[in-house]
Amino acid sequence: MRTYSRLVLLLVAIALSLLAACTSKTYSRTLTRANAAEIISKQFPIQMTFNMAIGRTSPGESSMERYLQTPDGQVHKLWQDDGLISLEWQSIAGPPRRMMKPAMLIGLTKKGESYDAGSPKAGVAAIRMCEQQFDHVTGIEMGKNNTAAKVEYTWKLGNLTPFGKRQTEVLGQASLCGNLAPQPDSVSLRLDDDGWRIAQ
């Protein structure tokens, strides 16, 4: 009797294991919008940076007053007012005949340095302006044998830094972070033995 009971329990355990395996396999092969969103959202947020010239630069204007009337000058003035950068107008001797030419010295303050993502090269600071943030999945196109899929989704810009906010105030949608509308994009996913993942 005990042997029979043990056999029944063993068969039940095997059946439950097979059912769990089948359920897991069925779940992993099914790509829903929620599954796709969970996978894609792990790639976000993405930092958006602006390469700002620092050190001595050519303003392209004959005086600080004229420069501050240009769009770039207005942005720099706001950054300076916010304590993010320092601006200093200079005159330097240059060719021909060692004539004095206007120059501007731009530097990051301690406050501004907290938004520096790392200088890509000398004389340039990569300033964090905003983030690309995942929005939502808009469609899924399954491929052959349901082992690949093209997922369409949208992302949007958000979490503007003080640098990003001030640039947007002056330049509007022409600024790096000015277009806050959701942007369409797509990515390919593939089905592996452990589930769906982004195709490399």
Q: One digit per residue, pLDDT tens: the chain, 200 residues?
A: 445 455 444 444 554 454 444 444 444 588 999 999 999 999 999 999 999 999 998 888 888 899 999 999 999 999 999 999 999 988 765 565 555 678 899 999 999 999 999 877 889 999 999 999 999 999 999 998 899 999 999 999 999 999 999 999 999 999 999 999 999 999 999 999 989 999 98
Phi, psi angles (nearest 5°) of residue 109: -80, 175
Q: What is the pTM of this model?
A: 0.79
Q: Rounded CA gap, 50 and 167, in Å?
A: 10
* Number of domains present in the structure of the chain: 1
Domain presence at residue 11: no
H or E element at residue 5: helix 2-29
Are 158 and 131 in contact, with CB atoms under 8 Å apart?
yes
Domain presence at residue 45: yes
Domain presence at residue 13: no
Domain presence at residue 84: yes
Q: Which range marks the domain in which residue 150 is found?
A: 31-198
Domain presence at residue 183: yes
Domain presence at residue 177: yes
Report the amino acid identity of residue 111.
K
Are 106 and 55 in contact, with CB atoms under 8 Å apart?
yes
Of 4, 127, 1, 117, nearest to 54 by C-alpha is: 127
Domain presence at residue 176: yes
Domain presence at residue 3: no
Residue 56 is classified by DSSP as E
